Amino acid sequence: MGVFVALAVGYVIGARTGSKDLDQVTQALKALSASDEFADVVSAVRAHVGHTLREVAGMIEGRSSEFETGDLVERVRQKLARV
């Protein structure tokens, strides 16, 4: 999502200032996405999303979880029962 926002901002900046500045923004975004730090952030986000999805699946299936949200779990179960 952040990449799309950055591309949109880059496009707007480029449209106002010319193609030279847009090329600089594009090069900066390519350099950022190629960095090890960016790859580490993407990996951490993927791990976090995976963990969160497993927790939600556990709550829906009725397994105990460290994040007890009884009302939310019950609402999700009811909605899934309707589907």
User: Residue 13 in 3-state DSSP?
Assistant: helix
Residue 8: the pLDDT is 83
Residues 4-40 have pLDDT tens digits of 888 887 777 766 666 677 788 789 889 988 999 999 9
pLDDT at 36 (0 to 100): 92
**Domain residue extents for the chain:** 1-34, 37-83
Q: Which has the closest alpha carbon to 22: 11, 37, 38, 34?
A: 11
Average pLDDT, the chain: 78
**0.85 surpassed by pTM:** no
